[in-house]
Amino acid sequence: MPNGPLAASSASYAGDMAVPALKEWAVPIEALLAGEQVIVLRKGGIGEKRFEIPHERFLLYPSYLHQRPELITPDARERYGHLLGANEEPDAVRIRAWAEVAEAHAIEDPAAIAALSGLHVLSDDYASERLRWRRTQPLWGVVLRIHELEQPLEVRVQAEHGGCVSWIDLDTDPVGAREPVLDDESFDRAAAAVAEALAGVAGPR
């Protein structure tokens, strides 16, 4: 089980009344689903004291708030431009995946941002900005194993889904999952690339 902000124990969402979901920008979620990245960089929302991972498994809830083209790498802007037309939340979102936490790296050294360049879709400038914000808190690089749902969920956006927060609960019933988007060998190789990039600059994890 990963160290860092991950809770000591956490049940799968299967059978729970409320299903946990991580709010993440739509473009990184698409890159995760495409197998183009396995890491997300998180520091918590404005309404949170720090970023924590209270769940081992959770749905990925696409968010558009504050998402802007200049905060994404040029290559990702070209591939996922259709998701960058708005930076406000829509009336409904389509949830296509759930994630399982593999590792959580505490990032405190600015050199880590350069080391991770090319392993995620955020621009280096924006990743550095996230690191500088709340300097007493580390930036967390969370490595996720992504599974695509057999049936995407259409979720009507409610007031309780809003706000600049990391986690929300959804009153929904996910149905099944396909195989992980990356096979074991490909995922292990991608996760190892993250660990190697951070070796010596990421601090404890």
Q: Rounded to the nearest 5°, which phi and psi values hold at 77?
A: -60, -40
Pairing mode, if any, of strands 57-63 and 19-25?
parallel
Give the number of domains in the chain: 1
172 occurs within a structural domain? yes
126 occurs within a structural domain? yes
Q: How confident is the model at residue 201 (pLDDT cuts 50, 70, 90)?
A: confident
1 occurs within a structural domain? no
Residue 98 is encoded by which pair of tokens? 């759930």
pLDDT at 157: 82
**Pick from 156, 166, 158, 164: nearest CA to 59:** 166
96 occurs within a structural domain? yes
Q: Which range of residues forms the domain containing residue 112?
A: 19-198
84 occurs within a structural domain? yes
205 occurs within a structural domain? no
CATH number at residue 46: 2.30.130.30
Sign, CA torsion 73/75/76/80: positive
37 occurs within a structural domain? yes
Q: How confident is the model at residue 135 (pLDDT cuts 50, 70, 90)?
A: confident
- Could you give the count of Cα atoms lying within 13 Å of 174 in the half-sphere of its Cβ? 29
9 occurs within a structural domain? no
The mean pLDDT of 58-63, rounded to a whole number, is 94
User: In whole numbers, what is the pLDDT of the chain averaged over residues?
Assistant: 85
